Amino acid sequence: MAVLTPEMWLPLGLTVLPHLGGLYGGYITRTQVKTWYTTLAKPSWRPPNAAFPIVWTCLYTGMGYGSYLIYKELGGLTEDALVPMGLYGLQLALNWAWTPIFFGAHKMKLALCEIMILTGTVGATMLSWYPISQPATLLMAPYLAWLCLATCLNYRIWKDNPDTKEE
C-alpha cells in the first residue's frame, strides 16, 4: 500500500487545486447542458459534450502540476514568485469564473469578453514561466490551444443566437 509522504502533499495539492473550481463548473454545466444549452445553435465543429470533462481533467492536471514545478523552482512563494504565481492565480480565478457567466447567467457576450481576458492571462502566465521552467510552460500549451478553440466556440454561439435574451 502506498503511503503519501509529506514531500508528496505539495505536488499533489497544487496538481489537484485547479480541479476544485472545475468541479463546481461541472455541476453548473451539467444542469444547463440538458436544458438551456440544448436550445442554442452551435457550430458543426463543436467537440462532443462527452469530450469536455475528459479534456478539462487533463488540462487542469497539467496546469496544476506546472504550477508545482514553478513553485519548486522558485523555492516557494518567494518575492520572485509574485508575478508568475500571481498570473497563474489570476488565470485560475478567471477560468473558474467563465462557467458561471456562460452557463449559469447565460451571458454569452460577457463570457466572450471574460474568456478573451483569460486567454491573454494564460499567455502572460506562460511568458512569465518560460525562463523558470520550460516543462511547466509546455504543460500550459494544450490549455492555451483549448482556450483558443473555446473562445471561437463562445463567439460563434453568441453570434448564432442573436434572439437569445441575455438576462
Let me know the angle formed at the C-alpha of 128 by 79 and 10, rounded to the nearest 5 degrees. Answer: 60
Position 89, amino acid: G
Q: Which fold has domain 11-19+49-160?
A: Ferritin (1.20.1260)
* DSSP H helical ranges for 34-162: 51-73, 82-99, 108-129, 134-160
88, 125 contact by CB (below 8 A): yes
Instruction: Note down pLDDT in tens along the chain; length 167 residues.
Output: 677 777 889 899 999 999 998 888 887 778 888 889 999 999 999 999 899 999 999 999 999 999 999 999 999 999 999 999 999 999 999 999 999 999 999 999 999 999 999 999 999 999 999 999 999 999 999 999 999 999 999 999 999 998 776 65
pLDDT of res. 64:
98
